[in-house]
Amino acid sequence: MTLARLSKERRLLRETVADFARAKVAPVISDIYRREEFPYELVAAMGRMGLFGLAFEERYGGMGGDVFTLCLAIEELARVDCSVAVALSAGVTLGAIPIHRFGTPAQKERWLPALCTGERIAGFGLTEPGGGTDTAAARTKAELDGDEWVINGSKAFITNSGTDITSLVTVTAVTGTRADGAKEISALVVPSGTPGFTVAPSYSKVGWCASDTHELGFADCRVPAEHLLGERGLGIAQFMSVLDESRIAISAVGAGMAQGCVDECVRHAKERTAFGQRIGAYQSIQFKIADMETRAHTARLAYYSAAASMLRGESFSKEAAMAKLVSSRAAMDNARDATQIFGGSGVMNDSPVGRFYRDAKILEIGEGTTEVQQMMIARHLGLS
Protein backbone atom coordinates (compact mmCIF):
# COMPACT_ATOMS: atom_id res chain seq x y z
CA MET A 1 0.00 0.00 0.00
CA THR A 2 1.20 3.51 -0.84
CA LEU A 3 -0.41 6.87 -0.30
CA ALA A 4 -1.24 7.02 -3.99
CA ARG A 5 -3.11 3.71 -3.75
CA LEU A 6 -5.18 4.53 -0.68
CA SER A 7 -8.90 4.40 -1.35
CA LYS A 8 -10.78 7.66 -1.70
CA GLU A 9 -12.43 7.07 1.68
CA ARG A 10 -9.09 6.51 3.41
CA ARG A 11 -7.52 9.57 1.80
CA LEU A 12 -10.49 11.67 2.90
CA LEU A 13 -10.24 10.36 6.46
CA ARG A 14 -6.53 11.08 6.53
CA GLU A 15 -7.08 14.65 5.34
CA THR A 16 -9.93 15.21 7.80
CA VAL A 17 -7.84 14.05 10.76
CA ALA A 18 -4.87 16.11 9.56
CA ASP A 19 -7.09 19.21 9.48
CA PHE A 20 -8.41 18.41 12.97
CA ALA A 21 -4.89 17.96 14.34
CA ARG A 22 -3.70 21.28 12.93
CA ALA A 23 -6.83 23.29 13.75
CA LYS A 24 -7.91 21.83 17.09
CA VAL A 25 -4.99 19.97 18.66
CA ALA A 26 -2.01 22.17 17.80
CA PRO A 27 -3.36 25.43 19.36
CA VAL A 28 -4.14 23.91 22.79
CA ILE A 29 -1.92 20.90 23.36
CA SER A 30 1.07 22.80 24.72
CA ASP A 31 -0.89 24.08 27.73
CA ILE A 32 -2.55 20.70 28.33
CA TYR A 33 0.84 18.98 28.11
CA ARG A 34 2.44 21.44 30.53
CA ARG A 35 -0.36 20.88 33.05
CA GLU A 36 0.00 17.09 32.59
CA GLU A 37 -3.75 16.76 32.03
CA PHE A 38 -5.69 14.25 29.99
CA PRO A 39 -7.12 15.98 26.87
CA TYR A 40 -10.80 15.26 27.57
CA GLU A 41 -12.24 17.76 25.10
CA LEU A 42 -10.00 16.56 22.28
CA VAL A 43 -10.84 12.93 23.03
CA ALA A 44 -14.55 13.79 23.01
CA ALA A 45 -14.12 15.52 19.65
CA MET A 46 -12.32 12.47 18.26
CA GLY A 47 -15.18 10.35 19.51
CA ARG A 48 -17.70 12.50 17.68
CA MET A 49 -15.60 12.10 14.53
CA GLY A 50 -15.92 8.33 14.88
CA LEU A 51 -12.20 7.71 15.32
CA PHE A 52 -12.60 5.34 18.27
CA GLY A 53 -14.98 3.21 16.22
CA LEU A 54 -12.90 2.99 13.04
CA ALA A 55 -11.88 -0.64 13.56
CA PHE A 56 -15.29 -2.00 14.62
CA GLU A 57 -18.58 -3.06 13.09
CA GLU A 58 -21.50 -0.68 12.88
CA ARG A 59 -23.57 -2.99 15.12
CA TYR A 60 -21.46 -1.79 18.06
CA GLY A 61 -21.48 1.85 17.01
CA GLY A 62 -18.31 1.51 14.94
CA MET A 63 -17.46 2.78 11.48
CA GLY A 64 -16.97 -0.60 9.83
CA GLY A 65 -13.30 -0.03 9.05
CA ASP A 66 -10.13 -1.80 10.13
CA VAL A 67 -6.93 -1.30 12.12
CA PHE A 68 -5.05 0.11 9.11
CA THR A 69 -7.65 2.84 8.67
CA LEU A 70 -7.26 3.60 12.36
CA CYS A 71 -3.49 3.84 11.89
CA LEU A 72 -3.88 6.50 9.23
CA ALA A 73 -5.73 8.65 11.76
CA ILE A 74 -3.18 7.92 14.48
CA GLU A 75 -0.29 8.94 12.24
CA GLU A 76 -1.86 12.32 11.45
CA LEU A 77 -2.49 13.03 15.12
CA ALA A 78 1.09 12.08 16.02
CA ARG A 79 2.43 14.60 13.49
CA VAL A 80 1.14 17.23 15.91
CA ASP A 81 1.19 15.51 19.33
CA CYS A 82 2.00 12.05 20.62
CA SER A 83 -0.17 12.07 23.76
CA VAL A 84 -3.37 12.63 21.80
CA ALA A 85 -2.37 9.95 19.29
CA VAL A 86 -1.64 7.50 22.10
CA ALA A 87 -5.00 8.16 23.75
CA LEU A 88 -6.62 6.92 20.54
CA SER A 89 -4.12 4.17 19.77
CA ALA A 90 -4.19 2.63 23.25
CA GLY A 91 -7.91 3.26 23.66
CA VAL A 92 -8.66 1.11 20.63
CA THR A 93 -5.87 -1.44 20.17
CA LEU A 94 -5.21 -2.11 23.86
CA GLY A 95 -8.54 -1.12 25.37
CA ALA A 96 -11.38 -2.10 23.06
CA ILE A 97 -9.84 -4.72 20.79
CA PRO A 98 -9.35 -7.34 23.57
CA ILE A 99 -13.10 -7.14 24.25
CA HIS A 100 -13.85 -7.30 20.53
CA ARG A 101 -11.48 -10.21 19.82
CA PHE A 102 -12.14 -12.42 22.83
CA GLY A 103 -15.31 -11.21 24.52
CA THR A 104 -18.55 -13.12 24.71
CA PRO A 105 -21.59 -11.65 22.92
CA ALA A 106 -22.80 -10.34 26.27
CA GLN A 107 -19.43 -8.71 27.06
CA LYS A 108 -19.32 -7.07 23.66
CA GLU A 109 -22.85 -5.73 23.96
CA ARG A 110 -22.14 -4.38 27.42
CA TRP A 111 -18.82 -2.59 26.83
CA LEU A 112 -18.08 -2.07 23.14
CA PRO A 113 -20.72 0.54 22.19
CA ALA A 114 -19.40 3.17 24.60
CA LEU A 115 -15.79 2.32 23.69
CA CYS A 116 -16.56 2.69 19.97
CA THR A 117 -18.01 6.16 20.42
CA GLY A 118 -15.20 7.36 22.66
CA GLU A 119 -17.62 8.11 25.47
CA ARG A 120 -15.59 5.63 27.48
CA ILE A 121 -12.07 4.23 27.16
CA ALA A 122 -10.32 1.16 28.55
CA GLY A 123 -6.89 0.02 29.73
CA PHE A 124 -4.71 -3.04 29.13
CA GLY A 125 -3.18 -4.43 32.33
CA LEU A 126 -0.22 -6.64 31.44
CA THR A 127 2.91 -4.98 32.87
CA GLU A 128 3.67 -5.39 36.57
CA PRO A 129 6.15 -3.54 38.82
CA GLY A 130 8.42 -6.60 38.80
CA GLY A 131 8.17 -7.46 35.14
CA GLY A 132 7.03 -6.13 31.81
CA THR A 133 8.85 -8.04 29.10
CA ASP A 134 9.00 -11.16 31.30
CA THR A 135 5.29 -11.99 31.29
CA ALA A 136 5.93 -15.34 33.01
CA ALA A 137 7.02 -13.37 36.09
CA ALA A 138 3.43 -12.26 36.68
CA ARG A 139 2.50 -12.15 40.36
CA THR A 140 -1.05 -10.85 40.21
CA LYS A 141 -3.32 -13.75 41.15
CA ALA A 142 -7.01 -14.49 40.76
CA GLU A 143 -8.80 -17.29 42.59
CA LEU A 144 -12.28 -18.51 41.79
CA ASP A 145 -14.47 -18.25 44.88
CA GLY A 146 -17.91 -19.54 43.99
CA ASP A 147 -19.16 -17.37 41.17
CA GLU A 148 -16.54 -14.64 41.62
CA TRP A 149 -12.87 -14.11 40.83
CA VAL A 150 -10.87 -12.65 43.73
CA ILE A 151 -7.91 -10.65 42.38
CA ASN A 152 -4.81 -9.62 44.32
CA GLY A 153 -1.73 -7.91 42.92
CA SER A 154 -0.68 -4.83 40.98
CA LYS A 155 -0.03 -3.52 37.48
CA ALA A 156 2.30 -0.73 36.36
CA PHE A 157 2.47 1.87 33.58
CA ILE A 158 -1.11 1.25 32.42
CA THR A 159 -2.36 3.74 29.82
CA ASN A 160 -5.92 5.15 29.90
CA SER A 161 -6.51 3.42 33.23
CA GLY A 162 -7.47 6.27 35.54
CA THR A 163 -9.41 8.87 33.60
CA ASP A 164 -12.90 10.05 34.44
CA ILE A 165 -14.13 8.13 31.38
CA THR A 166 -12.24 4.86 31.92
CA SER A 167 -14.82 2.07 31.99
CA LEU A 168 -12.61 -0.97 32.57
CA VAL A 169 -9.16 -2.48 32.58
CA THR A 170 -8.47 -5.95 31.22
CA VAL A 171 -5.80 -7.60 33.39
CA THR A 172 -3.78 -10.77 33.26
CA ALA A 173 -3.64 -12.85 36.44
CA VAL A 174 -2.32 -16.23 37.52
CA THR A 175 -5.41 -18.42 37.86
CA GLY A 176 -3.75 -21.77 38.53
CA THR A 177 -0.92 -24.13 37.62
CA ARG A 178 -0.61 -26.13 34.41
CA ALA A 179 0.15 -29.83 34.29
CA ASP A 180 3.78 -29.02 33.43
CA GLY A 181 4.10 -26.81 36.50
CA ALA A 182 3.97 -23.52 34.59
CA LYS A 183 1.66 -20.72 35.59
CA GLU A 184 -1.82 -20.68 34.13
CA ILE A 185 -2.51 -17.05 33.21
CA SER A 186 -5.94 -15.77 32.27
CA ALA A 187 -7.45 -12.41 31.34
CA LEU A 188 -10.16 -10.76 33.43
CA VAL A 189 -12.26 -7.64 32.89
CA VAL A 190 -12.26 -5.32 35.90
CA PRO A 191 -14.71 -2.39 35.66
CA SER A 192 -13.64 0.96 37.08
CA GLY A 193 -14.93 1.54 40.59
CA THR A 194 -14.94 -2.14 41.54
CA PRO A 195 -14.27 -2.44 45.30
CA GLY A 196 -10.68 -3.44 45.92
CA PHE A 197 -9.50 -1.92 42.62
CA THR A 198 -7.41 1.19 43.27
CA VAL A 199 -5.76 3.61 40.89
CA ALA A 200 -2.58 5.35 42.09
CA PRO A 201 -1.93 9.01 41.25
CA SER A 202 -0.80 9.58 37.67
CA TYR A 203 2.90 9.11 37.04
CA SER A 204 5.03 12.19 36.41
CA LYS A 205 6.62 11.20 33.12
CA VAL A 206 9.46 12.50 30.97
CA GLY A 207 7.17 12.46 27.93
CA TRP A 208 3.58 11.69 26.90
CA CYS A 209 2.63 14.19 29.57
CA ALA A 210 -0.95 14.54 28.36
CA SER A 211 -1.39 10.76 28.34
CA ASP A 212 -3.03 9.02 31.31
CA THR A 213 -0.76 6.42 32.98
CA HIS A 214 -1.12 4.79 36.41
CA GLU A 215 -0.10 1.97 38.69
CA LEU A 216 -3.09 -0.18 39.62
CA GLY A 217 -3.71 -2.17 42.78
CA PHE A 218 -6.01 -5.13 43.46
CA ALA A 219 -6.77 -6.12 47.04
CA ASP A 220 -9.40 -8.86 47.33
CA CYS A 221 -10.99 -7.29 44.27
CA ARG A 222 -14.03 -9.34 43.27
CA VAL A 223 -15.49 -9.58 39.78
CA PRO A 224 -18.14 -12.00 38.51
CA ALA A 225 -16.94 -15.30 37.04
CA GLU A 226 -18.36 -14.25 33.68
CA HIS A 227 -15.77 -11.44 33.55
CA LEU A 228 -13.22 -14.01 32.37
CA LEU A 229 -12.15 -12.77 28.92
CA GLY A 230 -11.69 -15.55 26.42
CA GLU A 231 -10.61 -19.02 27.45
CA ARG A 232 -9.11 -19.69 30.85
CA GLY A 233 -5.34 -20.12 30.69
CA LEU A 234 -4.93 -18.28 27.37
CA GLY A 235 -4.48 -14.80 28.78
CA ILE A 236 -0.88 -14.35 27.64
CA ALA A 237 -1.55 -15.78 24.19
CA GLN A 238 -4.50 -13.41 23.82
CA PHE A 239 -2.55 -10.40 24.98
CA MET A 240 0.41 -11.23 22.73
CA SER A 241 -1.88 -11.34 19.69
CA VAL A 242 -3.35 -8.00 20.75
CA LEU A 243 0.16 -6.57 21.04
CA ASP A 244 0.95 -7.60 17.46
CA GLU A 245 -1.89 -5.38 16.26
CA SER A 246 -1.11 -2.60 18.69
CA ARG A 247 2.50 -2.54 17.52
CA ILE A 248 1.31 -1.58 14.06
CA ALA A 249 -0.67 1.26 15.64
CA ILE A 250 2.23 2.43 17.80
CA SER A 251 4.40 2.27 14.67
CA ALA A 252 1.98 4.74 13.11
CA VAL A 253 2.61 6.98 16.12
CA GLY A 254 6.35 6.74 15.48
CA ALA A 255 5.97 7.43 11.77
CA GLY A 256 3.73 10.40 12.50
CA MET A 257 6.12 11.86 15.04
CA ALA A 258 9.06 11.38 12.65
CA GLN A 259 7.08 13.22 9.95
CA GLY A 260 6.05 15.92 12.40
CA CYS A 261 9.73 16.60 13.08
CA VAL A 262 10.27 17.04 9.35
CA ASP A 263 7.26 19.37 9.09
CA GLU A 264 8.57 21.60 11.86
CA CYS A 265 12.13 21.66 10.53
CA VAL A 266 11.14 22.50 6.95
CA ARG A 267 9.06 25.42 8.21
CA HIS A 268 11.83 26.57 10.55
CA ALA A 269 14.53 26.25 7.88
CA LYS A 270 12.54 28.52 5.56
CA GLU A 271 12.00 31.17 8.25
CA ARG A 272 15.10 31.19 10.44
CA THR A 273 18.07 33.27 9.29
CA ALA A 274 21.70 32.99 10.31
CA PHE A 275 24.75 34.73 8.85
CA GLY A 276 22.62 36.63 6.39
CA GLN A 277 20.50 33.85 4.87
CA ARG A 278 17.82 31.32 5.70
CA ILE A 279 19.31 28.25 7.34
CA GLY A 280 17.57 26.05 4.77
CA ALA A 281 20.11 27.32 2.25
CA TYR A 282 22.93 25.56 4.16
CA GLN A 283 23.75 22.13 2.87
CA SER A 284 24.32 20.77 6.37
CA ILE A 285 20.70 21.57 7.24
CA GLN A 286 19.42 20.29 3.90
CA PHE A 287 21.17 16.95 4.33
CA LYS A 288 19.94 16.54 7.89
CA ILE A 289 16.33 17.18 6.88
CA ALA A 290 16.69 14.89 3.86
CA ASP A 291 17.76 12.07 6.17
CA MET A 292 14.83 12.83 8.47
CA GLU A 293 12.35 12.66 5.59
CA THR A 294 13.86 9.34 4.49
CA ARG A 295 13.45 7.89 7.98
CA ALA A 296 9.82 9.04 8.19
CA HIS A 297 9.05 7.57 4.78
CA THR A 298 10.70 4.26 5.68
CA ALA A 299 8.79 4.07 8.96
CA ARG A 300 5.52 4.64 7.10
CA LEU A 301 6.31 1.93 4.56
CA ALA A 302 7.16 -0.48 7.38
CA TYR A 303 3.83 -0.11 9.14
CA TYR A 304 1.93 -0.11 5.84
CA SER A 305 3.59 -3.43 4.99
CA ALA A 306 2.74 -4.97 8.37
CA ALA A 307 -0.84 -3.75 8.05
CA ALA A 308 -1.11 -5.20 4.55
CA SER A 309 -0.06 -8.63 5.84
CA MET A 310 -2.58 -8.35 8.66
CA LEU A 311 -5.43 -7.40 6.30
CA ARG A 312 -4.59 -10.35 4.04
CA GLY A 313 -4.92 -12.69 7.00
CA GLU A 314 -1.24 -13.61 6.90
CA SER A 315 1.12 -13.94 9.83
CA PHE A 316 2.41 -10.47 10.65
CA SER A 317 4.16 -10.75 14.01
CA LYS A 318 7.65 -10.30 12.53
CA GLU A 319 6.48 -7.45 10.29
CA ALA A 320 4.85 -5.69 13.25
CA ALA A 321 8.06 -6.02 15.26
CA MET A 322 10.13 -4.63 12.39
CA ALA A 323 7.71 -1.73 11.95
CA LYS A 324 7.88 -0.92 15.63
CA LEU A 325 11.68 -1.12 15.61
CA VAL A 326 12.06 1.09 12.53
CA SER A 327 9.46 3.69 13.49
CA SER A 328 10.61 4.16 17.08
CA ARG A 329 14.18 4.65 15.92
CA ALA A 330 13.02 7.07 13.23
CA ALA A 331 11.09 9.09 15.80
CA MET A 332 14.02 9.19 18.21
CA ASP A 333 16.60 10.08 15.56
CA ASN A 334 14.37 12.71 13.95
CA ALA A 335 13.53 14.28 17.29
CA ARG A 336 17.21 14.51 18.12
CA ASP A 337 18.05 16.09 14.77
CA ALA A 338 15.06 18.44 14.93
CA THR A 339 16.16 19.67 18.35
CA GLN A 340 19.63 20.31 16.98
CA ILE A 341 18.25 22.27 14.03
CA PHE A 342 16.06 24.40 16.30
CA GLY A 343 18.89 25.03 18.75
CA GLY A 344 17.88 26.80 21.96
CA SER A 345 14.21 27.03 21.03
CA GLY A 346 14.17 23.27 20.47
CA VAL A 347 14.68 22.53 24.15
CA MET A 348 11.79 24.70 25.30
CA ASN A 349 8.88 22.70 26.71
CA ASP A 350 6.29 24.74 24.81
CA SER A 351 7.97 23.94 21.49
CA PRO A 352 6.52 21.08 19.40
CA VAL A 353 10.10 19.91 18.82
CA GLY A 354 10.74 19.92 22.55
CA ARG A 355 7.66 17.74 23.08
CA PHE A 356 8.73 15.41 20.28
CA TYR A 357 12.16 14.98 21.88
CA ARG A 358 10.63 14.10 25.25
CA ASP A 359 8.00 11.82 23.74
CA ALA A 360 10.18 9.90 21.29
CA LYS A 361 12.15 7.89 23.83
CA ILE A 362 9.04 6.21 25.19
CA LEU A 363 8.41 4.70 21.76
CA GLU A 364 11.62 2.69 22.18
CA ILE A 365 10.29 1.26 25.45
CA GLY A 366 6.48 1.03 25.50
CA GLU A 367 4.63 -1.94 23.98
CA GLY A 368 7.86 -3.90 23.79
CA THR A 369 11.35 -2.44 24.02
CA THR A 370 13.72 -2.18 21.07
CA GLU A 371 15.48 -5.27 22.37
CA VAL A 372 12.21 -7.24 22.49
CA GLN A 373 11.52 -6.38 18.86
CA GLN A 374 15.03 -7.52 17.90
CA MET A 375 14.54 -10.74 19.84
CA MET A 376 11.21 -11.42 18.12
CA ILE A 377 12.64 -10.78 14.66
CA ALA A 378 15.59 -13.07 15.38
CA ARG A 379 13.26 -15.84 16.55
CA HIS A 380 11.26 -15.59 13.34
CA LEU A 381 14.54 -16.09 11.50
CA GLY A 382 15.14 -19.32 13.40
CA LEU A 383 17.76 -17.85 15.72
CA SER A 384 16.14 -19.07 18.90
Alpha-carbon separation of residue 116 from 49, 97, 232, 376 (angstroms): 11, 10, 26, 31
| DSSP 3-state of 304 | helix
Q: Of these residues, 75, 76, 364, 367, which one is catalytic?
A: 367
Q: Which residues of 150-181 are buried (b: 16+ CB within 10 A; e: fewer)?
A: bbbbbbbbbbbbbbebbbbbbbbbbbeeeeee
**Residue 371 carries which DSSP code?**
H
CA distances from 103 to 20, 100, 155, 343 (A): 33, 6, 21, 50
Q: From residue 76, how far is each of 144, 188, 278, 359 by CA, in Å?
A: 44, 33, 28, 16
367 is catalytic: yes
- Alpha-carbon gap, residue 264 to 252, rounded angstroms: 18
Closest alpha carbon to 194 in 215, 158, 166: 166
Q: Catalytic residue numbers?
A: 367
